[in-house]
């Protein structure tokens, strides 16, 4: 067995890791806009990237390197370096050539406006402000924000049966262009666990399915989605089950934080689908609900319009039948296998549920054993306002 405890320090919680955020003049009012993550020891790297065919230059650069270890990640906000072609990749190479001498095989990650070349001079000057001895995860998490309204970080300490332990910490950003297939999100996870690269990649691929790939804000998938796990092995400790559970806790927490911070969002909703033919069909139905604009706007209006739930499930393409479907808002069943329970009194009760900041919409398809949980938020006026003038 093992014990997992929440701790402090974010991405710097594990032994040997450092981070900070600085202002390079990319954002207005000298806000932090560049960050680094540095390890004294070179790290094994596991990665998951966007499914968008128009992936950004940092992802192309990463993939071009092949199998490698690194001890440095450079991150900038305000500029995505996407749709910039091979020139965007060359810009990265030039910027990274100015890294401090302690850096080995550096990589870069970016977020912001698409279709604009990197302001290389500002970024190179910004790197001169880096102090590789700083452990300021909060500053780093603020520097990578775009439309986020709050920084996102978390840290754990995993204690194994033999008394050994390892840490795991992370920072992330994401509030818009969030779709079930990852989104405009960046997540950087550090650990001093002694884990093999292949096993770490396998576990990351498993855990992302029920965390970052289970959330939706607006149905748009970004060009820059990135999850990186960096393991420097310094603790010498590792146990597969403990590592997987810690990884899930970190990624699940940050995924829900992204939905909670959805642009203009006021509600975090869990869509629980059970009784599907199989898990895959449950996943399709749950993600259809989390992604539906009609459902999202009903959430914003606090309207328990259960008909939109039924319609979305029916349109998702999964096997579903009117006479087998059951729909509930938290514990309130509004439709039960052909019987409408949604009278005036039930509508009042469901409206109260929808005023909560968090609640669950459940759909039992009544067919098989498949189940899946997806997570989403409402969509209102503020989302339109933010994205109507994003470039300005």
Catalytic residue positions, numbered: 184
CA distance 34 to 23: 6
**Residue where the block lists tokens 């990186």:** 228
CA distance 390 to 146: 10
CB count, 10 Å around CB of 382?
14
CA angle 162, 228, 215 (to 5 degrees): 100
Q: At what angle do helices 306-315 and 293-300 cross, to 10 degrees?
A: 160
- What single string gives the DSSP state of each residue in 135-199? B-HHHHHHHT-SS-SS-EEEEEEEEETTS-EEEEEEEEE-SSSEETTEES-EEEEEE-----HHH
Read off the DSSP letter of residue 11.
Answer: G
């Amino acid at each position: 067995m093992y014990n997992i405890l929440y701790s402090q320090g974010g991405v710097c919680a594990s032994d040997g890791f450092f981070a900070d955020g600085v202002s390079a003049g990319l954002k207005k009012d000298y806000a932090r806009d560049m960050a680094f993550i540095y390890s004294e020891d070179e790290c094994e790297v596991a990665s998951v990237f966007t499914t968008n065919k128009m992936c950004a230059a940092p992802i192309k650069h990463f993939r071009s390197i092949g199998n490698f270890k690194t001890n440095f990640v450079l991150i900038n906000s305000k500029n995505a370096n996407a749709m910039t072609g091979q020139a965007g990749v060359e810009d990265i190479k030039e910027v990274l050539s100015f890294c401090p001498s302690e850096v080995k095989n550096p990589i870069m990650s970016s977020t912001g406006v698409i279709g604009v070349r990197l302001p290389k001079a500002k970024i190179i000057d910004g790197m001169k402000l880096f102090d590789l001895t700083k452990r300021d995860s909060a500053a780093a998490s603020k520097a990578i924000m775009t439309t986020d309204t709050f920084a996102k970080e978390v840290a754990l300490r995993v204690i194994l049966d033999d008394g050994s332990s390892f840490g795991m910490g992370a920072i992330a950003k994401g509030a818009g262009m969030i779709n079930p297939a990852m989104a405009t999100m960046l997540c950087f996870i550090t650990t001093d666990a002694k884990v093999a690269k292949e096993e770490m990649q396998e576990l990351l691929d498993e855990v992302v399915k029920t965390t970052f790939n289970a959330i939706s804000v607006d149905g748009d998938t970004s060009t820059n989605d990135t999850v990186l796990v960096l393991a420097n092995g310094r603790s010498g400790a590792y146990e597969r089950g403990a590592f997987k559970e810690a990884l899930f806790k970190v990624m699940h927490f940050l995924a829900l934080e992204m939905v909670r911070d959805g642009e203009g969002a006021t509600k975090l909703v869990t869509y629980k689908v059970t009784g599907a033919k199989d898990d895959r069909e449950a996943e399709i139905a749950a993600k259809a609900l989390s992604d539906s604009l009609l459902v999202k706007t009903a959430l914003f209006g606090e309207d328990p319009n259960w008909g939109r739930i039924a319609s979305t499930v029916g349109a998702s393409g999964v096997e579903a039948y009117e006479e087998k479907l059951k729909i509930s808002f938290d514990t309130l069943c509004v439709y039960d296998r052909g019987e409408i329970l949604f009278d005036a009194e039930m509508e009042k009760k469901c409206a109260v549920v929808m005023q909560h900041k968090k609640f669950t919409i459940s759909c039992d398809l009544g067919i098989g054993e498949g189940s899946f949980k997806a997570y989403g938020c409402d969509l209102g006026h503020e989302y339109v306002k933010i994205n109507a003038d994003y470039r300005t």
